[in-house]
Amino acid sequence: MIELPLRVEPLGPHHDRASFSSGEPSLDEYIRRFAGQDTRLNLTRCFVLVHEDEPQRILGYYTLSAASVVPRKAPGKLAKVRRYPEIGALLLGRFAIDRRFQGRGLGRKLLLHVLFHVAALGEEAGFALLLVDPLDEEAEAFYRKFGFAPLPGERRMYLLLKDLRATLTAFERG
Ligand SMILES: CC(C)(COP(=O)(O)OP(=O)(O)OC[C@H]1O[C@@H](n2cnc3c(N)ncnc32)[C@H](O)[C@@H]1OP(=O)(O)O)[C@@H](O)C(=O)NCCC(=O)NCCS
């Protein structure tokens, strides 16, 4: 989904975290202050979107962490699962595009990249959903475009892994 000259790579010491500004203070503070330490503690993995001409500049970023949902809060057939006390999931914990680059299709490109990434991880370990916590109604509307829906009775949203591939195919077809 991400084509050169753009690329996605793990957050590293050469990336300029201080100048990243999404307009959402909690997301800016997270990449500046906490993403490095959370990565070292293996709590999360943080990936950044960069342009090859200016690879230190962060155009956008996302984090992925392991998560779970108890069956009674899970959607559809998963609510009937009894063999596992918790259903494995991945959490798209943070997702943001720098405000200077918003509204140009980068959020869409980066989210499709996330879905590819998660689909590939889903071949290596079993988990049933991708979760996200939208910050506000606008973010919720953004995620809905990609097939996410709220977990029953919650603000947290999910995309079933089985539907994730369908979403990718639909977006690939345009
Ligand atoms: C939300 C955000 C990631 C979107 O990135 P972007 O690069 O501006 O989005 P794009 O230009 O790729 O737009 C993709 C689609 O989402 C829609 N969209 C963009 N921003 C949106 C918003 N705030 N609310 C609802 N829809 C939005 C666009 O209209 C577009 O729809 P289309 O494909 O049907 O035309 C970006 O605005 C951002 O980082 N905001 C601040 C942080 C934030 O809210 N993060 C998500 C919270 S968890």
- Tell me the pLDDT tens digit for each residue of 54-94: 999 999 999 999 999 999 999 999 999 999 999 999 999 99
Domains and CATH numbers, the chain: 6-173 (3.40.630.30)
Give strand pairing partners of 149.
158
The span from the CA of 15 to the CA of 174, in Å, is 32
Please, what sign has the CA dihedral across residues 162, 103, 109, 50?
A: negative
- Helix, strand, coil percentages in the chain from 3-state DSSP, rounded to 5: 35, 25, 35
pLDDT for position 91: 98
Q: What is the DSSP letter of 57?
A: B
pLDDT for position 57: 98
Please provide the average confidence, as pLDDT, over all residues in the chain: 96
Q: What positions carry a catalytic annotation?
A: 143
Per-residue pLDDT band at 2 (split at 50, 70, 90) = confident
Give the amino acid at 37.
Q
Q: What is the DSSP letter of 151?
A: P
- Distance of CA 35 from the midpoint of ligand 1 (Å): 22
- Distance of CA 126 from the midpoint of ligand 1 (Å): 29
**Atom 9, ligand 1: which residue's CA is nearest?**
107
Per-residue pLDDT band at 95 (split at 50, 70, 90) = very high
User: Would the pLDDT of 97 be above 80?
Assistant: yes
Q: Is 137 in the pocket of ligand 1 (CB under 6 A)?
A: no
pLDDT for position 172: 83
Measured in whole angstroms, the distance separating CA 34 from the mean position of its chain's CA atoms is 17
